Every structure is written in C-alpha cells, then in structure tokens.
Structure 1
Amino acid sequence: MKLVTIDHSGNIHLGVKLDNNVFDITEALKAFPEEGIPTDVMSVIANSEAVIPQLERYIARVLEGATAGTAYLLDESQVSYGPCVTNPGKIICVGLNYRKHAEETNAAIPQYPILFNKFNNTIASPGDDIPLPNRVTSQVDYEAELVIVIGKQAKYVSKEQALSHVFGYCNVNDLSARDLQMRTQQWLLGKSCDKFSPLGPYLVTADEVGDPNQLTITCTVNGETRQSSHTSDMIFHCDEIVSYISQHMTLSPGDIILTGTPEGVVLGKPVDQRVYLKHGDVVTIEIEKLGALTNRMVDELL
C-alpha cells in the first residue's frame, strides 16, 4: 500500500495512491462512514496489523460504485501532498553510510553507524519551497536518502528480526548546510534548519518494497543527474541499522531513520567545482518503488 497525506488548504487528509488515482479516505468516510477507519497516517503506522487489512477492504467496497470526479477519487496531478510521515517521534540519521560517498569525501569507512538527529522543524512536504537560510550559510547541499519508518516497538532486536519492525519506506532530501555542519565536530546545526527534510510523496509499506537494499536511488538538480546509485552500496544495511540503534534506545512506531546518501553530492567535488544550491534550483529525489520527491529552493525571506 502507498499511503499519502493530502493537503486541502492546510487540512491534512489521509489518502492511498492507487494505480491511476488517489483515494481520499477522509472524504470517502463522509459518504461511506465506517467505524475504526483511521484518518491520519500516524494512526495507521501505530496499528498497521489491524488497520491495513481494514483499509484494503474499505477501499475495495467504496470503489465498487465509484466514478471519476467524486470528492474521494482524485486525479494525482490535482493533489497537493503533505509530508508522508507527519509527526515522527524521533528523526535519526546515519552519516557516511555509502561506501562510494565516503570515498569521494576522503572519509574513513566507519566501523559503526555514525548517528545524529534532526527535529520536526525540518519536516516539509513534496512541492514545498525550501528556504535557503542565507543569513547563516552559503553551502546548502542535497542528499538523496532512503527513510526507514518504524512500525513496531523495537528494543534489542536482532539483525534477523529487525525488518519485521519496519512499517515502510519513503524518500527524503536530507538537506545539509556544509559550512554549519563542519563548524564543529557535531553535525546537527548544519542538518536542522527549517524544512531541511522534505518527505514523500508516498509512504510505501514494507511488503511492497521488498529488500530495501535492492533499490536504485537518484537525485537531479534542474533536470541534471547528480546522484545515481543503489542502496546495495550502503555500508550498514537497513536490517543492521535498525538492530544497532535498538540496542541503545527503544524505537517506536512513527520513528524515522534516514539511512545516508550515495556519492555525487556537492561536498564530494573538488573545492573549485563546488556549486551549492541557490534560489530557483529544483531538486528531485527518486528511489525505485517510492515515487519522486521534488522541491524548489528559494532565498529565505524574513
């Protein structure tokens, strides 16, 4: 299942991406009420084993009599999406987790996952304009990344059991202000500016994705391919990451883990060839099976 959030002029509806349309669950419930159907994505994540089969049955029942143009069956081209995970409890990030990216930045291959965090102020929607905070940085970089979304509480889970605690996966652009990131040994400042983690468009359940380390991953800027890689190049694969983090903290439904970026970022280029993101640049992150996430960079106006 591909879950989405639909932004109706600031009101967020839960939806499901179908083959040719988007099914607006919130609108459907007005015409076809049914108890127990969730209307927000965080409730689905937290109760997936019971809710997903119920949602599938409900959508099938409603679609039996549906026609195009109804309030609950939308043409995707007319949909404004919100972030596919609206309120993550934790935002945990893995640094230097692609072998070729570590090599391009002349960094040592990590012996353990390098962890840092972001905050909810960084969450943004597909299609959002992303403000470049030019008062404090001139080096904003793109980073295409696969996101793991936790679906079941995980504590001290083994590598073999780790992925059974995953609800699904999505795209993120882990935007990074490199001058702020490298100012100290702690990367947080360069990673946590407002809207520096656009998520989406789809939150795809784990059963549809299959092996998360067998996916192509790309980033384009103004249509030019900058990153083109494969999640198999991760140093620590998704099962290792979930297991490792769970040894040190409890992972809860709705937590998200950003799993690192492949080679091709601006930081990996020779100093005299580095051209960081600027006003008007359009960045698209696309991962196999997860759709495409596009955002435009704009100068921050305060």
Structure 2
Amino acid sequence: MKFGTFRHAGRTLVGVVDSAAERIHPVDAIDMVDLIRRFDEISPGIHLNGSGMNLSEVELLAPIPHPRRNIFCVGKNYRDHAREFASSGYEAGAVKGAEIDDYPAVFTKPATCVVGPGATVDTHPKVTSAVDYEVELTIVIGKGGRDIARADAFDHIWGYTIINDVTARDRQKNHRQWFLGKSLDTFCPMGPWITTADEVDAENLQVRTWVNGELRQDANTRDLIFDIPGLIETISAGTTLEPGDLIATGTPAGVGLGFSPPKFLKPGDNVTMSITGLGTLSNPFA
C-alpha cells in the first residue's frame, strides 16, 4: 500500500494512495507517525471503495512533514559516487586510494529542512554557490528498537520513500563536516508518498535523477556498499530507533560535482527523481 500526507480544504490529512486511479482516500490517523504506530489497528479498516479525492485536487506534502527527530543519512554508499566525490575536490581530507570507507559515514539532516513534492527549493544564493542534488532510497522505521541484529532488520521497516539530499558542496567542504552543507531550509524534499515494505524489493530498485529532463543518476540499490540490514544494525547500536524515523541510504554517481566543470543547480532548474515502485519526486529550484 501507499500512504501520503496531503492538504485539502484547509486540513492536513493522511490517506491511502491509489496511484493507478490517481486518487487518495483519507484514513483515520492523526498524522503519518500515528498511522505507523497504530498500523495493525488501523489497517483492517482501510478500503479503496471508490471514494476519496483525485490527487489533482489536493496538495501532496512530504509523507512525514515534521519528523520527530533528525533524519539519519548515509554518505558515500555507492562505490562510483564515493570515487567521484573523492576526486571532485569537494571532499575535505580526501585520500587517494581510500575512497571506500570501512564503516558507514552517518550524519543527520534537521527536520526543519523537509519539504514536499512540488515545493520550491531555495538555492540560498547568499549562503552557497554550489547547490547539488542526491537521490536517496529512504527507509521508514515501523517497529522501534535498539541493538537491532541485521537478521531482524527488515522486520523493523514499515516502508520506503524518496529523499533528495540537497547539498551545498562549498559549505560541506569549507566546514570539514556535512551537517551545515546539508541542513539549509528546504534542502530535504521528500515523497511523493511512502510505499509499505511488503510491496518493495529494496535490494533491487532502480534509482534515477533527471535535471531539466537530462538523466544524471541511474543505478540500482544492489550497488550499495553498506546494505540495508547493515545500516540498521549500525545506526541502532546503542541508539534507539523509533517508529517514523527515517534513514536515507546514500546516493549513486552522477551528482553535479562529478562533472567537469561541475553542474551545480541554479534558479529555474527542475529536479525529478524516481525509484522503482516508490513514485516520482519533482521539485523546482529558485
């Protein structure tokens, strides 16, 4: 099933999405995190019975517009991207021959930078001149826990969505860490909805990005360096994951810094991302 958060007639609601019919049907939940927490209770009453609203009649928001906590993110998790990043000149302290890390590089993005599909992303020209895009398969935690074993990891996943991990590369380099370059307002488009885990083969998904119609990123989650069970095991080690937590799993090669010269985003650009079975996330930049 697919679930989205939307605004209609001044109200913010959660609904089940019938993407084939292009309709969304409200469900009885306070918000997406409430739905995730009470899914076993709520799901028997969810039916696509011809009611609901056309998607064109509502404003889709990020599936979790206000995450309870920062979003966990993984850097350099596709080999080709790790190499293009290291050779770009934008990775502070890059060492030739050591592009692939022994352990996942984990950072966070604040919940305040989340926006939904179609929302305008601010390029912040007074702050940065090197805005880049990163398509990322994003895990939505359903069952919380700490010290989760990799063998149990998939049992803790409720679903998956798409995140564009927008990045100010100059800030990322200059400050020698990733948080400031990743955390500007609007730098986390998310959506268009969450697809539940039972409908997703997360280890075999095509991940793509187009900028102004030009295909830039095209890879498969089979290519992840650190796989999904390993990421959940690592991030939950000593740290409790909670329902509604988000883990962005990294981006493949083809980001703007990988070109010569770099192809950074500018006002007027449009970035569209798709992942098999998860829909399409598109945002204008200004």
The two structures have a TM-score, normalised by structure 1, of 0.87
Q: Deviations over 1:148-206 (max 9, x none)?
A: 01111121111110110011000110000000111122210000000111110010000
Alpha-carbon contact 1:48-1:167 (below 8 Å) kept: no
Q: Deviations over 1:8-56 (max 9, x none)?
A: 2653111111130323316xxxxxxxxxx3242111111222222332x
**Runs (5+) with no aligned partner, structure 1:** 27-36, 67-71
1:134 aligned residue: 125
1:274 aligned residue: 262
1:98 aligned residue: 78
Query: Letter of the aligned partner of 2:23 in structure 1?
Result: V
2:33 aligned residue: 42
The 5 Å alignment of 1:1-302 reads 1-8=1-8, 11-18=11-18, 19-25=20-26, 37-55=28-46, 59-60=47-48, 63=49, 66=50, 72-90=51-69, 91-106=71-86, 108-209=99-200, 211-270=201-260, 273-298=261-286
Alpha-carbon contact 2:24-2:54 (below 8 Å) kept: no
Alpha-carbon contact 2:65-2:116 (below 8 Å) kept: no
Query: Letter of the aligned partner of 2:62 in structure 1?
Result: P
Alpha-carbon contact 2:14-2:32 (below 8 Å) kept: yes
Query: Letter of the aligned partner of 1:22 in structure 2?
Result: R
CA distance in 2, matches of 1:120, 1:220: 25
CA distance in 2, matches of 1:73, 1:25: 7
Alpha-carbon contact 1:92-1:118 (below 8 Å) kept: yes
**Relative to total residues, which structure has the larger helix share, 1 or 2?**
1
Larger radius of gyration: 1
CA distance in 2, matches of 1:246, 1:54: 32
Query: Letter of the aligned partner of 1:88 in structure 2?
Result: P
SS in 2 for 1:77: helix
CA distance in 2, matches of 1:185, 1:276: 20
Query: Letter of the aligned partner of 2:66 in structure 1?
Result: N
SS in 1 for 2:29: coil
Q: Deviations over 1:51-100 (max 9, x none)?
A: 22332xxx25xx1xx4xxxxx52222333200011232231100001111
Q: CA deviation at 1:248?
A: 3.0
Alpha-carbon contact 1:45-1:254 (below 8 Å) kept: yes
Alpha-carbon contact 2:217-2:254 (below 8 Å) kept: yes
Alpha-carbon contact 1:41-1:84 (below 8 Å) kept: yes
Cα RMSD (Å): 1.5
Q: After the TM superposition, which parts of structure 1 deviate over 3 Å for at least 4 consecutive aligned residues?
A: none
Alpha-carbon contact 2:211-2:271 (below 8 Å) kept: yes
CA distance in 2, matches of 1:87, 1:54: 26
| Seq. identity, % | 40
The two structures have a TM-score, normalised by structure 2, of 0.91
